Structure 1
Amino acid sequence: MTAPILELRDVSYRYRRGALAVDGVSLSVAEGQSVGLVGESGSGKTTLLRLMLGLARPTAGEVLFDGAALRPATMRSFRASVQTVFQDPYSSLDPRQRIGAIVAEPLRSLGLARGAEAAGMVVASLASVGLPADTVGRYPHEFSGGQRQRIAIARATVCHPRLLLADEPVSALDVTTRIQVIDLLIELRASAGLAVLMVSHDLSAVAALCDDTVVLQGGTVVETGSTAELLRSPAQAYTRRLVDAVPRLPAE
């Protein structure tokens, strides 16, 4: 099996007041792999995402990038390789900046490109999510929620990362737009060999994109396996409740 890009080994995190947010969680994402991390609100998904991004340090266990512990000396390489798409496309884009500057931000902050080279990469990234070149001169308020999420994906992928962490990327969108954004992520995964970890409470969204799924309850992993198998035959009652919550059309 391909070595993981990002791996959590027996990770736990305890808040300052002593409450245990996650306990002994292990998961990994390898090159080209798509993994879903699912659970209800309060299950620990957001805490795990912060740990994966190096925004918090685990109380116990390890977060590994390319087999080595995250440390300040490797954070620039990590940021170029691991990018994030956030839940709300209305708050994740700076309303004061033009789209060109927003999408170019990773290139600028990581020192990867500037000037004409950066401008060309921005236009190419916007094209990859189905947006025209003149998008660069406009502001976020001129776009719909779905278009804003496409812009957020363009920003996350402009530096050609190896892994995309998608934090509830479609939960703020209407049903039709959700399908379009998920289809876009599927296309990017296929065309760019992008690995994806999708954090979600919605198994239907995860089922469309992810080969494997990790189920989180109360900060611990209660079930893991192929997404198709979990949907077909969940082993745990908690997973069954998540599966039963997936909307279905009534039988004719």
Structure 2
Amino acid sequence: MEASSQAPLAHHLRIVLVGTQHPGNIGSAARAMKTMGLRQLVLVAPEKAPDRDAQAMAAGADDLIAAAPVFATLAEAVADCRWVLGCTARSRRIQLEPMHPRAAAARAVVAAASGPVALVFGRERSGLDNEEMALCNGAVHIPSDPDFSSLNLAAAVQVLSYELRCALLDAASHDSGGEAGGSGAALRTPPPSADAATHAQLEGLFEHLATTLDAIDFHKGRAPDSAMRKLRRLYLRANLDAAEVRLLHGILADSERMARLAGDRTMRDEIL
């Protein structure tokens, strides 16, 4: 793939580092990205700001660090994204679609044709917490040796950056009529539509859904967490566009209105 044809897709591929504890790891991650043609580094609440150690470990990729925006929360960092993948080293209570790095990269490149895509990496010691994983569309797990599965942050970023590079090259090969480089699954995955809902729009829908389910007493005294996790997965698999999100908001608003009317009638009947 020539640089000019890679750039548009690569520009939409975002590496997000959450709660990084050691500035040197930010530099090493930036170097890993730049060697694979990725430039969009985003930081979320790093424990320490990038310093001389970060610049030294970047080894020429310090321009990525200088340009990296810093957000207070992951939700803010991925609000405009069409697709978000959380990189995790262990299974979670939050059930997300599990993905091999190669398949995840292939799908990410396809999704990048419609807008920003984020690959999210957590803290060195504890990774991403459950609330942060709940913001993701899928979970990527690097199949390291279970007898020695420890993989540092920069190494994990390097593995995913390499897979993204291969997927970009493969997509270009298809576009130019050449043979695929091994990740043809990217083309078998339908890309999001041009007006696919952003992450922030989907989170707004989920908040409205949770409020409406409470208003209609859907949970009947049961804890809502399990049902909301399942509903999130259902809607995320649907790959909603912005118009569909607006339609669902309208349905939820009418449901809330009917719940209020039913409550008013019940109150009047009790008074009478």
Higher relative contact order (CA 8 A, sep 6+): 1
Q: Which has the larger radius of gyration?
A: 2
TM-score over 0.5 for the alignment? Answer: no
Q: Which structure shows the higher strand fraction? A: 1
TM-score, normalised by the number of residues in structure 2? 0.21
Report the structure, 1 or 2, having the larger helix content: 2
